[in-house]
A and B are shown apart, each in its own frame.
Chain A
Amino acid sequence: MKKVLSLLLCIALCFTMLVGCGGTTNGDKDSDTKAETQAETQAETQAAETKEADVATEADVETEADNGIDMSETVKIGVLVADVTTAEALAFRSYYTQYIQNQYNVEFVYSDALKDSADEKSAIDTFITNNCKAIISFSSFDRMAQIDQCAKAKVYYAVATGTLTDEEYEKVKTNEYYVGAIGPSLDIEYQTGYDMAKYYLDKGVKNFAIFGGAVPYYTDMHIYRVAGMLAAMADATGADYQGAKGPAIVGKIYETADVKTGSIGDVNILGYVGGYDMDDAWFGKIAEVAQTSGLEMILAVGNGSDFFGTAVNGTDVKIASVDAYADSYGAAMDAGILDYMAGKFSASIGPIFAITYSAALGAPIRDNDGNAVALGQGYWVATSPEQFKEYYSVDNSLDAPAYDKADLDTLIGSDYATLEKFVAAYTFDEIK
Chain B
Amino acid sequence: MKTNAKKSIMNLAPVFGLIVLVAAFLIVGHMKGINISYGLKSVINQSVVVAVVATGAVFIYTLGSFDISLGASVAVSAILGGMVYIKTGNLLLMFATCIGVAVLVALTNSVLASIFNLPVFVTTIAMLSVLNAMVLLLIGINGTGSEISVPSDAVAHLDNIPFKVAVLALYILACVFIFNFTPIGRKEKFLGGNPLCAQLTGISIKKYSIIAFIISGIGVGLGAFLSIVYAPTLTRSTASSVGMDVIIAIVFGGMPVSGGARSKIYAALIGAFSMTFLSQIMTLFNLNSGIGQIVKAAIFILVVFIAASNHRQKELPR
| B302, A11: Cβ atoms closer than 8 Å | yes
Task: Report the nearest B residue to A38, measured CB to CB.
Answer: B290
* B73 lies within 8 A of chain A by Cβ: no
Task: Report the nearest B residue to A32, measured CB to CB.
Answer: B288
The proximity string for B residues 299-318 relative to A, scoring 1 for CB distances below 8 Å and 0 otherwise, is: 10110011001000000000
| B283, A126: Cβ atoms closer than 8 Å | yes
| A110, B288: Cβ atoms closer than 8 Å | yes
Q: A10-B305, A122-B42, A131-B35 are in contact. Are A35 and B288 (CB under 8 A)?
A: yes
* B170 lies within 8 A of chain A by Cβ: no
* B295 lies within 8 A of chain A by Cβ: yes
Within the complex, which residue of B38, B280, B286 is in contact with A28, where a contact is CB–CB below 8 Å? B286
| A7, B305: Cβ atoms closer than 8 Å | yes
* B256 lies within 8 A of chain A by Cβ: no
* B289 lies within 8 A of chain A by Cβ: yes
Which residues of chain A from 110 to 135 have a CB within 8 Å of any chain B CB? 110-113, 115-122, 125-126, 128-131
Contact residues in B for A107 (Cβ distance below 8 Å): 286
Complex Cα spacing A120 to B238, Å: 11
| B35, A28: Cβ atoms closer than 8 Å | no
Complex Cα spacing A142 to B227, Å: 14
- Number of A-B contacts defined by CB within 8 Å: 136
The proximity string for B residues 278-296 relative to A, scoring 1 for CB distances below 8 Å and 0 otherwise, is: 0110011111111111110
Name A residues whose Cβ lies closer than 8 Å to a Cβ of B. Answer: 3, 6-7, 10-11, 13-14, 17-18, 21-22, 25, 28, 31-32, 35-36, 39, 84, 107, 109-113, 115-122, 125-126, 128-131, 141-142, 144-145, 148, 153, 217-219, 254, 257
From residue A281, how far is it (CB to closest CB) to chain B in Å?
A: 14
* B194 lies within 8 A of chain A by Cβ: no
| B235, A117: Cβ atoms closer than 8 Å | yes
Kindly list the 5 A-B residue pairs having the minimum CB-CB distance in the complex, ordered from nearest: A218-B146, A125-B42, A129-B39, A118-B231, A142-B233
Q: A31-B291, A122-B45, A218-B146 are in contact. Are A129 and B38 (CB under 8 A)?
A: yes
| B39, A141: Cβ atoms closer than 8 Å | no
From residue A80, how far is it (CB to closest CB) to chain B in Å?
A: 12
Task: For chain B, give the interface size range.
Answer: 35 or more
9 contacts between A and B (CB under 8 A): A10-B302, A28-B285, A35-B288, A35-B291, A116-B239, A126-B42, A128-B42, A129-B283, A218-B146
| A128, B232: Cβ atoms closer than 8 Å | no
From residue A41, how far is it (CB to closest CB) to chain B in Å?
A: 14
Which residues of chain B from 256 to 298 have a CB within 8 Å of any chain A CB? 279-280, 283-295, 298
| A122, B46: Cβ atoms closer than 8 Å | yes
Looking at A36, A145, A218, which has the most chain B CB atoms within 10 Å of its CB? Answer: A218
* B144 lies within 8 A of chain A by Cβ: yes
Contact residues in A for B299 (Cβ distance below 8 Å): 14
* B137 lies within 8 A of chain A by Cβ: no
Within the complex, which residue of A18, A110, A125, A141 is in contact with B46, where a contact is CB–CB below 8 Å? A125
| B280, A126: Cβ atoms closer than 8 Å | yes
From residue A78, how far is it (CB to closest CB) to chain B in Å?
A: 10
Task: Report the nearest B residue to A31, measured CB to CB.
Answer: B291
From residue B228, how far is it (CB to closest CB) to chain A in Å?
A: 10
Q: A117-B231, A117-B235, A128-B35 are in contact. Are A17 and B295 (CB under 8 A)?
A: yes
Contact residues in B for A25 (Cβ distance below 8 Å): 286
Q: A10-B305, A125-B46, A217-B146 are in contact. Are A31 and B287 (CB under 8 A)?
A: yes
Complex Cα spacing A180 to B237, Å: 26
Task: Report the nearest A residue to B242, measured CB to CB.
Answer: A118
Looking at A3, A10, A35, A116, which has the most chain B CB atoms within 10 Å of its CB? Answer: A116
Name B residues whose Cβ lies closer than 8 Å to a Cβ of A. Answer: 29, 32-36, 38-39, 41-42, 45-46, 49, 140, 144-147, 149, 152, 227, 230-241, 279-280, 283-295, 298-299, 301-302, 305-306, 309
Complex Cα spacing A20 to B15, Å: 27
| B238, A116: Cβ atoms closer than 8 Å | yes
Q: A7-B309, A11-B302, A129-B34 are in contact. Are A217 and B236 (CB under 8 A)?
A: yes
| A131, B34: Cβ atoms closer than 8 Å | yes
| A128, B38: Cβ atoms closer than 8 Å | yes
| B42, A119: Cβ atoms closer than 8 Å | no
From residue B226, how far is it (CB to closest CB) to chain A in Å?
A: 10
| A115, B152: Cβ atoms closer than 8 Å | no
From residue A186, how far is it (CB to closest CB) to chain B in Å?
A: 14
| B295, A141: Cβ atoms closer than 8 Å | no
Contact residues in B for A142 (Cβ distance below 8 Å): 147, 149, 231, 233
Q: A39-B290, A145-B233, A217-B236 are in contact. Are A130 and B284 (CB under 8 A)?
A: yes
Q: A18-B295, A116-B239, A218-B145 are in contact. Are A121 and B289 (CB under 8 A)?
A: no
| B287, A21: Cβ atoms closer than 8 Å | yes
Contact residues in B for A3 (Cβ distance below 8 Å): 309
From residue A344, how far is it (CB to closest CB) to chain B in Å?
A: 21
Task: Report the nearest B residue to A214, measured CB to CB.
Answer: B146
Task: Report the nearest A residue to B295, measured CB to CB.
Answer: A17
Looking at A32, A117, A153, which has the most chain B CB atoms within 10 Å of its CB? Answer: A117
Complex Cα spacing A113 to B292, Å: 12
Task: Report the nearest A residue to B29, measured CB to CB.
Answer: A129
Complex Cα spacing A115 to B238, Å: 7
Contact residues in B for A6 (Cβ distance below 8 Å): 305
| B302, A129: Cβ atoms closer than 8 Å | no
| A148, B305: Cβ atoms closer than 8 Å | no
Complex Cα spacing A224 to B290, Å: 33
Task: Report the nearest B residue to A20, measured CB to CB.
Answer: B291
Complex Cα spacing A11 to B291, Å: 17
Contact residues in B for A28 (Cβ distance below 8 Å): 285-287
Complex Cα spacing A217 to B283, Å: 31
